[in-house]
Amino acid sequence: MDRIVYLFDNPARFIAGTVGEPGDRTFFLQARDGLRLISVSLEKEQVNLLGDRLNELLDQVSIAEGIDTTEFGPADLEPLDNPIDEEFRVGTLALGWNSRSQQVIVEAHAQTESFEEVPDLEEDSLDGPDVLRVRMDSMSARAFARRALSVVAAGRPPCPLCDNPLDPRGHICPRANGYRRRG
């Protein structure tokens, strides 16, 4: 079966969001342009890493190319669009900067058995995992990163001793010698 590339060039909307209650949330990346809507699921840590790395990439671009990448696009505070139909689960994320078009490229590749199956950034070979590819300007990328990091932070508060998430019913804290701590 041929690889599917879901390409969004300056989409109307590209966000990270969740479904579920803190402690039992499913994380999604979602891109929308007109009537086309694509949702892919991923891990909380991947969302956090993507937000952090996007900010780092834009800081590096600002220094290397002498362009201002510090401005944010408008904040998108709306929930995920419905219907949320998962196209695939993300295994690998890739980031890049296109100097010619001055766009950030975000690629979310479907999970595979091997990292070796993942093609290079913006490679459109017929082989490899399905991919969600989003190209956007730096303002949109900063806004995406801000929301992604905010979505991750909106979960359960951390335990003051071990930094693991507190469950409302409490958790077994390794720093408290296995005693249950209450949230």
pLDDT tens digits for range 26-76: 999 999 999 999 999 999 999 999 999 999 999 999 999 999 999 988 889
23 or 103, greater pLDDT: 103
Give a yes or no: residue 92 inside a domain: yes
Q: Tell me how many domains the chain contains.
A: 1
Q: Which of 47, 29, 46 is nearest to 38 (CA)?
A: 29
- Residue 171 confidence (pLDDT) above 80: no
Give a yes or no: residue 172 inside a domain: no
| Percentage above 70 pLDDT, the chain | 93
> What is the residue type of 87?
E
Give a yes or no: residue 26 inside a domain: yes
Q: What pTM, to 2 d.p., does this model score?
A: 0.86
Sequential DSSP letters for 111-123 = P-S-GGGSPPTT-
26 or 164, greater pLDDT: 26
Across residues 12-28, what is the average pLDDT?
94
Task: List the domain range (segments joined by +) for residue 151.
Answer: 5-157
Give a yes or no: residue 58 inside a domain: yes
Token look-up 């990448």 returns 69
- Work out the number of other CB atoms within 10 angstroms of the CB of residue 25: 17
CATH of the domain at 61: 3.30.2450
